Structure 1
Amino acid sequence: MKMTVRGILTALATAFAVYLAARSLVWAGGVVDHPMLAVAVTGVYLVVVILSLYVEGRPVAAHDGESDGMLTAGRRGPTRMPAWVCIVVLLASAVIPNTAAAALALESRATSFGTWYVGAIGLLMMVTMVRRRPWVAWAGIVILAVSTIAWLGLLPALTLGLIGSSMWVLAAQLLLMSMDRAALDAARLSELQRAASAWRAAQQGRQRERRIQVQRALAVAGPILSRAIEQVGLLDERERTEARIAEGQLRDELRGARLLDDGVRAELDAARRRGATVSVLDEGGLEGLSDAELQRIRAELAAAVHDAVSQRLYIRSSTHPEIAVTVVGRSAAGTLPDEDSVDLWREIARPARG
């Protein structure tokens, strides 16, 4: 049979409650004025203990990263004690000590069976504390202390179990606090591990993407670089043009790889060969798109570059919710070299999401 924390705690509490109840009925060497009342009080105590241990309540609400799977709450531990059971427990903490003491003769009230209720109510309050009702548990201890001192006196009450019962409740509260802190630390550690794994996966993806970009860049610029080294930089006009185009292609691969496919690359190459200056920059906004959506955007981009006659083309991705890519073309408009005008403005819409 699978053992759980809840099952172990419940079994221990039940066994201890039965022991205390049995001790209350062992009247050796003592005088009991009202035996039926004493037996009835013991029976009432056992009923209250059963209610406190076995009546289900609502799970403890998660907060600050805690979950319902803590060692002391939810399926793996006691649920929060229902409010009506708390009321019964408080009534028991007031009725049982007074009734148990009233059932005994004066000389029997300080005996082992005459003070059974001190440990019994302490156990009941400890169960209440474990079931996430700390204020009820401490209120019960206060009620027990008042009743015990009233019947036995201050010093006898302290020496006959009142301090021990209070220590049980305090130990239960400290144990719960340490368990909750450990559960919270474990949850945070798990979250950090998931974040670290996601970061590592993202870094590995970026590394693979960089390797692909470097390989593509070397394939584009490698031949002209080798030629430049062989000629010690003395290139003819055709080779200079090829070097300028290779430089542009290399910039495209490094700065806007997400915007590129074979069709876009071919149109950018054609624009540069006719003398246009082309700038491509991925500024984000395309990360959440599928391959099919990116393919459609790249097809529209290739068509826009193919139709362009501008001397300078600026292609940028966009984070705008409705615009994916913007293509701007500028050409000379006057006699001054730096005087130009916008002759192309094309916005490629972001795919609509249903």
Structure 2
Amino acid sequence: MISVKNVLMLLAVAFTAYLAARGLWWTTSDVPQPLIVVAALALYLVTTWLCVFWEPTSGYVLSAGATDESAIPAPVAETESQTPIDGIRGPRSLPPLAQVLALACAAIVPSAIALAVGPGNRTEPFATWYLGGIGALMTIVMVRRRPWTAWSGIALLTVASMAWMGPLGALSLGLVGSVVWVACAQLLVLSMDRAARDTSRLTRLQRAASAWQTSQVVRQRERRVQVQKALAVAGPVLTRTVAHAGHLTDADRLEARLAEGRLRDEMRGPRLLDDDVRAELERARRRGANVTVLDEGGLDGVDEETLSVIRAQLAETLRSASSDRLYIRTSPDARIAVTVVGRSMSVGGPSDEDAVDLWREIPHPGR
């Protein structure tokens, strides 16, 4: 598959192969030790292509660097692997063995080439290719998020090249370009990481804004549904109240009280209600009972099939209840779904306080 990553890797391979090929172009001069030159070229190519293609089996280094402002950016932190944020991934860190090979190549190849070509050929193009070659290798190491290794390799290259060619010779023949390549690579990686951090932060903000907007839409929809239910329940009572200028009969007052109770039930315990439960609640209120329904979250996460079983048991309990006051509440207990308590006025007892004449705990089915 053609991608930016694959194209860059192919360009790196082609460029380093071109630099190495220059080392074999000694048509104008004799080379005292050609086998050493070939061995150095082979070491360079193997190490360079290993740094290009070798990736750890697990873990990506964060392009975003970290989740907060105080974290160390990924290009500077010498961590083996990190987890990507929001799917943003950058180049993987170079394995330690590849770092060791890269440093060994930076230390061995310049001296090996200088010794192999002889004192008279050390400034020839086929003998100075390693200035650009090692610079390209350290640029790859920098992109693979090993800055200390890359700058150590440049330091080794600087010492070796100046020792064999002199400071002016090394600087004029390509050492400056290698240093500039590595510096530009580090600046580019830092810029990419900063852009990735900003992108990750904006992504999180966008997700938070979308979640907030969605929650507002859901709340508006719920409020609209509740208003429609309130109008359906209280609308007829209010219409009669207005039509009779507030002069209501006993039957109208009863209907108003029932409408108020239905509204309270729908707002406080909608998950407890179905047609049978609503009918039993209205029957209890018509006989004069004071009914309180309250869902405090004990049924959150319960599926509809289980709710149907719980509601059926609740309706059966209300059907046989005769208490003056009924309290129906969901239970925080893991085994109990709903608790129904009935209280009635004591008659002829030692006190006039309400006595508990109904206590029913409806368990969660299957628990």
TM normalised by structure 2 equals: 0.81
Residues 278 and 54 of structure 1: CA distance in aligned 2, closer, same or farther (over 3 Å): same
Residues 256-286 of structure 1, C-alpha deviation per residue, up to 9 Å, x if partnerless? 2222111111111111111111122222232
Residue 106 (structure 1) aligns with: 119
Residue 21 (structure 2) aligns with: 22
Is 1:127 equivalent to 2:127 in the alignment?
A: no
What are the residue-to-residue correspondences of 1:89-104 with 2, within 5 Å?
A: 89-104=102-117
For 2:209 and 2:364, locate their aligned partners in 1 and report how far apart those are by CA, in whole Å.
Answer: 32
For 2:332 and 2:185, locate their aligned partners in 1 and report how far apart those are by CA, in whole Å.
Answer: 55
Residue 66 (structure 1) aligns with: 84
For 1:217 and 1:102, locate their aligned partners in 2 and report how far apart those are by CA, in whole Å.
Answer: 96
Q: Letter of the aligned partner of 2:328 in structure 1? A: I
**Which of 221, 227, 230 does residue 240 from structure 2 map onto?**
227
Displacement of 1:98 in angstroms is 0.9
Give ranges in structure 2 of 5+ residues lacking alignment.
Answer: 68-82
Residue 350 (structure 1) aligns with: 364
Partner SS state of residue 343, structure 2: strand
TM normalised by structure 1 equals: 0.84
Displacement of 1:311 in angstroms is 1.9
Displacement of 1:56 in angstroms is 4.5
Does the CA-based 8 Å contact 1:60-1:68 persist in structure 2?
no
What are the residue-to-residue correspondences of 1:313-324 with 2, within 5 Å?
A: 313-324=326-337
Residue 3 (structure 2) aligns with: 4
What are the residue-to-residue correspondences of 1:1-354 with 2, within 5 Å?
A: 2-27=1-26, 32-61=31-60, 66=84, 70=88, 72-73=90-91, 79-194=92-207, 196-333=209-346, 339-352=353-366
Q: Letter of the aligned partner of 2:357 in structure 1? A: D
Decide which moves more: 191-200 or 82-91: 191-200
Does the CA-based 8 Å contact 2:60-2:89 persist in structure 1?
no
Residues 203 and 70 of structure 1: CA distance in aligned 2, closer, same or farther (over 3 Å): closer
Residue 80 (structure 2) aligns with: none
Residues 158-205 of structure 1, C-alpha deviation per residue, up to 9 Å, x if partnerless? 444333323322332333333344445445544555555555455444
For 1:62 and 1:93, locate their aligned partners in 2 and report how far apart those are by CA, in whole Å.
Answer: 25
For 1:219 and 1:303, locate their aligned partners in 2 and report how far apart those are by CA, in whole Å.
Answer: 27
Does the CA-based 8 Å contact 1:330-1:344 persist in structure 2?
yes
Residues 115-168 of structure 1, C-alpha deviation per residue, up to 9 Å, x if partnerless? 221211111122223234333323322322232233234454344433332332
Residues 272-326 of structure 1, C-alpha deviation per residue, up to 9 Å, x if partnerless? 1111111222222323121111111222222222222222222223444333322
Does the CA-based 8 Å contact 1:71-1:179 persist in structure 2?
no
Residue 76 (structure 1) aligns with: none
Aligned residues: 346
Does the CA-based 8 Å contact 1:17-1:46 persist in structure 2?
yes
For 1:166 and 1:59, locate their aligned partners in 2 and report how far apart those are by CA, in whole Å.
Answer: 31
For 1:141 and 1:120, locate their aligned partners in 2 and report how far apart those are by CA, in whole Å.
Answer: 11
Partner SS state of residue 117, structure 2: coil
Displacement of 1:227 in angstroms is 1.2
Does the CA-based 8 Å contact 2:61-2:90 persist in structure 1?
no
Q: Letter of the aligned partner of 2:3 in structure 1? A: T
Give ranges in structure 1 of 5+ residues lacking alignment.
Answer: 74-78
The percentage of aligned residue pairs carrying the same residue is 52
Decide which moves more: 244-253 or 342-351: 342-351
Please tell me the root mean square deviation across aligned C-alpha atoms, in Å: 3.0
For 2:325 and 2:307, locate their aligned partners in 1 and report how far apart those are by CA, in whole Å.
Answer: 24
Does the CA-based 8 Å contact 1:61-1:68 persist in structure 2?
no
For 1:271 and 1:247, locate their aligned partners in 2 and report how far apart those are by CA, in whole Å.
Answer: 14
For 2:206 and 2:318, locate their aligned partners in 1 and report how far apart those are by CA, in whole Å.
Answer: 45
Partner SS state of residue 11, structure 1: helix
Partner SS state of residue 233, structure 1: coil
